[in-house]
Amino acid sequence: FLTSKEQFHAYLRARGQPGDQPGTEGEEEKEDEEEKEEEVDGCPNEPPAKRVRSEDLGQDRESQEDAGVEEKEPVEQKRARGQNKSRPCMKPNHYEQSRLCPSVTQGCAEKCYFGPRCRFLHDVGEYMASKPADLGHSCVLFETFGKCIYGVTCRFAQAHLGDGYRNVVNVDLAKQWEGKSPVRNNLSKDLQHQLRKRKFSFKKADEYLRGLAKPHGGGGKGGEATGSSTEEPEVSNCTTPQEGLVDGLKCPVPPEQGEDPKPDALQSPGPVGGQEASSTKTVGPVTDEDTIKLRSCEKRKLDIQGKLYLAPLTTCGNLPFRRICKRFGADVTCGEMAVCTNLLQGQSSEWALLKRHHTEDVFGVQLEGAFPDTMTKCAELLNQTIEVDFVDINVGCPIDLVYKKGGGCALMTRSNKFEQIVRGMNSVLDVPLTVKIRTGVQEKINVAHKIIPKIREWGASMVTLHGRSREQRYTRGADWDYIAECAKIASPMPLFGNGDILSYEDANRAMQTGVSGIMIARQVPVGALIKPWLFTEIKEQRHWDISSGERFEILRDFTNYGLEHWGSDTQGVEKTRKFLLEWLSFLCRYIPVGLLEHLPQKINERPPYYLGRDYLETLMASQNVDDWIKISELLLGPVPTNFTFLPKHKANSYR
């Protein structure tokens, strides 16, 4: 199955026809011209790692002259890594020149808010004359819910349009979904208005933050726990020894940090707090909930021992992808990392990361922040407004944008702020609080074993440890020996291990280290994005030689879920395409089990060029962006004019 780069791309250009033999002189000259053009543009035509690997194996390597040219170019020796920060971005208004006013789609054109100033079309006939051709004969929204809310703007509208462009409704199917919503945790307009006008009440968070200011005269260190020993007997008596240890024996918050808060109406007026208390208006009688704080022993327990946990994946860990993983056996899912300051500002794009599908039975959200005030307020906001089973703090993000602001991995070096964040969020949440960390910041200096006992003391219910440092990012192997040491130190608090899980054999070795469970993530490369069926392999303890047709059906399901989630109009179709292409940048790294010389596939191995068992399998193995676009066109129709795409990570493609 091994081949050369030229034969590989010639095979794809010929669409796998055996009569078209690759490697002719004309094709080679054309490819040489393309390579020269790419070199002029400063874009290497393939990753250095792949080039070196193919040369080592001696499979149809290029001529010595070409190799000499490559040696003279030091730019190509630099490894492609990091984000493509200046990548092109097509905005939604580029997809359609003439868009129909939403008021017309919703059947209330006479109530258009903008009136004569509206810049969208109100004439359906005029819109239909310029609308792009439909992409298919069946609409997934119409077939699933009995009604497509996008009406004439749907790119599959022929499935549900009647005479006079009337939107047809399947009454029986629509009644089944009446009053039900498949997706929860939506941002309401009223809540968004409160957040933007800063009218949302953060009563518990404000109480805790006022307590942080008090230790200044008592010699406290940056809001560190002072006097927490006086509270320990009270809490330890309310639980059995096992429960008390799991939730942390020393997790209660000291009185000055907001423990057992009293209602503002009953507080004794102080020189500072009196004015704040008097400004708070109380409504109705005082109940036990107002005067008695929920203790850690009374909180809902997070029972996910031994379960498969899909990690929060930025960009690719969206709701449609989580539905795919859930179908293949993921037990626990988590939303993408959300920035707490954006949530507090009511940004719709950030709140979209918190959405939960009704099939996600154990679901959590992950927050990123650097300061106790914003993180505590955000935790209280989510505690009151959305349905989650746990909240996770991201202390493992290695990217500079987050790290330089004091968030992500930087919190591991800011222990005082880290403690204030964990204690504060734990004091306002009714659900368990978890923390995701790395081994440390520097490559050879591990500090997780020192931090984990403190996290247990501060009140966290679980810790997830990624077996790499920030400097390692997602390169090299995860240190599972160190994860095993930390699992013993964390006991009896559950500790999940994360890193380098790509087969059921990897998962079995990970579980033998003594961790409570494993988190399956994605990075360079990591299991779930390369093999979403990995959850099935682990549960059934087998290697699945999945065919290209089965993999293509997974992509088809993803596009259907994407159209449900992002919409079936032009904007929704192109957003689905964008996330499909991002996922394909990882999927192309999968090597079919039937082609491997030895099992299982190693997580950091990049294969040489190879031909699959059929054309589709070969197409899915291509790392060329143009080939990914071909796959998307098989599912979502032709791309718009001047369409461009570049993956988010530089190492994911060579064009």
Q: Cα separation of 304 and 496, whole Å? A: 10
Residues 6+ apart with CB under 8 A from 377: 202, 205, 340, 344
Buried b / exposed e over 47-74, threshold 16 CB at 10 Å, is beebbebbeeeebbbbeeeeeeebeeee
Residue 222 near residue 213 (C-beta atoms within 8 A): no
Backbone phi, psi, residue 435, to 5°: -135, 135
- Could you tell me which of 425, 435, 431 has the C-alpha nearest to residue 455? 435
Q: Cα separation of 223 and 188, whole Å? A: 35
According to DSSP, residue 388 is labeled: -
The string of DSSP letters for 492-560 reads TS-EEEES---SHHHHHHHHTTT-SEEEE--TTT-HHHH-TTHHHHHHHTS-----HHHHHHHHHHHHH
The string of DSSP letters for 450-472 reads HHHHHHHHHT-SEEEEESS-TTT
Residue 495 near residue 462 (C-beta atoms within 8 A): yes
Q: Cα separation of 136 and 573, whole Å? A: 12
Q: Any idea which residue has 């997706």 for tokens?
A: 183
Residue 397 annotated among the catalytic residues of the structure: yes
Omega before 22 cis (within 30°)?
A: no
Backbone phi, psi, residue 113, to 5°: -65, -35
According to DSSP, residue 60 is labeled: S
Catalytic member of 148, 251, 397, 409: 397
Which active-site residues does the annotation give? 397
